[in-house]
Amino acid sequence: MTLKQLTPEEYVDFLQHQKDYSFLQTDEMANLLSKKGMTVRPMALVTDNQVKVAGLLYSMPMTGGLHMEINSGPVIADETYLTDFYKEIQNFAKKNGALQLIIKPYQTYQTFDGQGQPITPERKELIEQLTQLGFHFDGLQTGYPGGEPDWHFVKDLSNLTQDSLISSFSKKGRPLVKKTNSFGIKIQALERHELERFSKITSATSDRREYQDKPLNYYEDFYDSFGDKADFLMASINFQDYHDNLLAGQASLQEKLTLIQADLDKIPNSRKKQNEHREISSQIETFEVRLAEAKNWMTQYGTEDIDLAASLFIYTPQEMVYLFSGSLTEFNKFYAPVALQEYAMRKALELNIPFYNFLGIQGVFDGTDGVLRFKQNFNGYIVRKMGTFRYYPNPLKFKLLHTIKKILGR
């Protein structure tokens, strides 16, 4: 049993035989991290020429040594070898000048229903496995510690088809998708030279929500690293087309109203027809308001396509991941993020990807998490990861350097 650094080809071959791993442990992510100046090693525990556990270990300089990390890993072929893998990685970190080693496991600690009620017991033994080896645990947390979520909202697609997808959404989500589809929103996968459009929307969103956006060159490097395994999707609308669609919809309603009125002329006291007449008349009035808005938008934006919202989706054989996104608040009434989610799920079905990961929510279920409320429209469930474990090969040196930095205010 030995710890070995795999070649990229050996690592990719190993992943092809695994059923559960994060995109953060893929060869594409290794390429992206390398572009950011990190040293990336696919490390594996091997016995009898078989890889039992493997993961991307990346390192970068820090004061006094190296920061080493395995994020959302390792990838586990045989769980009985996991403790041995952790021990060997600790030894490797110590021998190779690491000041700290961070592990963020991808194993699910506990599963909850879509409302946040637990449906499986906690797997406390997973935490104990690491703490007994000398790892310091940050604790089970809510929110986005270090900018990364431990709580994921997910959806099983394995038994769905294109025809049954919308019916799998929540009671609130189904009419929301239907309404969104009436706006004529266009979905486009951006080319590399168009990524500035993506960045403009995510930047505006980060300013509004007060978090740090990625720079444009990060998205360009991401595009180069992931290739056809990622889509930078843009939702846009053409207000001339929107106006024309409204006219057509209004005309269709007017035809229905004429037929209902003809029935009422024959049977004036029909309660059913009176109610139908009232409902259709109300819808026609709503169209008048929407047409007036459309004319204002046409005056303001002309007949060009206008970007509404953008999202980045990643594809692995096991799951589709919803990673980065943004939207423009002045166009909220078009629900463009809903259109992007439906588009991505339909593509996942086309690619026979069985699992959809909406990624982060806060893990707070008191009604204050707007991101959770949005994702609940699509009817999934929740998994909780453990979080962050830290190992210090030379704890006295780390403590001394930490104290000095604190004194210097760095």
Q: Which domains can be identified in the chain, with CATH numbers?
A: 2-105+387-408 (3.40.630.30), 154-235+308-384 (3.40.630.30), 240-301 (1.20.58.90)
pLDDT at 397 over 80: no
Rounded to an integer, what distance in angstroms lies between the CA atom of residue 88 and that of residue 92? 6
Q: Which residues of 41-68 are buried (b: 16+ CB within 10 A; e: fewer)?
A: bbbbbbeeeebbbbbbbbbeeeebbbbb
pLDDT band of 38, cuts 50, 70, 90: very high
Average pLDDT value for the chain: 93
* 172 CB-contact burial (10 Å; exposed 0-12 / middle 13-18 / buried 19+): exposed
pLDDT at residue 79, as a whole number: 96
pLDDT at residue 207, as a whole number: 82
How much of the chain, in percent, has pLDDT values that exceed 70? 97
pLDDT at 83 over 90: yes
pLDDT at 337 over 70: yes
pLDDT at 167 over 70: yes
Rounded to an integer, what distance in angstroms lies between the CA atom of residue 12 and that of residue 94? 27
- Do 12 and 27 contact (CB within 8 A), yes or no? yes
- For residue range 221-246, list pLDDT tens digits in order: 999 999 999 999 999 999 999 999 88
- Do 359 and 322 contact (CB within 8 A), yes or no? yes
Rounded to an integer, what distance in angstroms lies between the CA atom of residue 162 and that of residue 169? 13
pLDDT at 169 over 90: yes
pLDDT at 42 over 90: yes
- Do 69 and 40 contact (CB within 8 A), yes or no? no
pLDDT at residue 269, as a whole number: 82
- For residue range 257-268, list pLDDT tens digits in order: 898 888 888 888
- For residue range 109-145, list pLDDT tens digits in order: 999 999 999 999 999 999 999 999 999 999 999 999 8
Stated as kind and residue range, the H or E segment containing 58 is strand 50-62
CA dihedral sign of residues 106, 111, 112, 113: positive
pLDDT at residue 352, as a whole number: 97
Which of residues 399 and 258 earns the better pLDDT score? 258
**What are the residues whose beta carbons fall under 8 Å from the beta carbon of 136, sequence distance 6 or more?**
389, 390, 391, 392
- For residue range 171-207, list pLDDT tens digits in order: 999 999 999 998 999 999 999 999 999 999 999 988 8
pLDDT at residue 343, as a whole number: 97
pLDDT at residue 403, as a whole number: 66
pLDDT at residue 404, as a whole number: 63
- Do 93 and 101 contact (CB within 8 A), yes or no? yes
Transcribe 62-86 into DSSP letters: ETTEEEEEEES--EES-GGGHHHHH
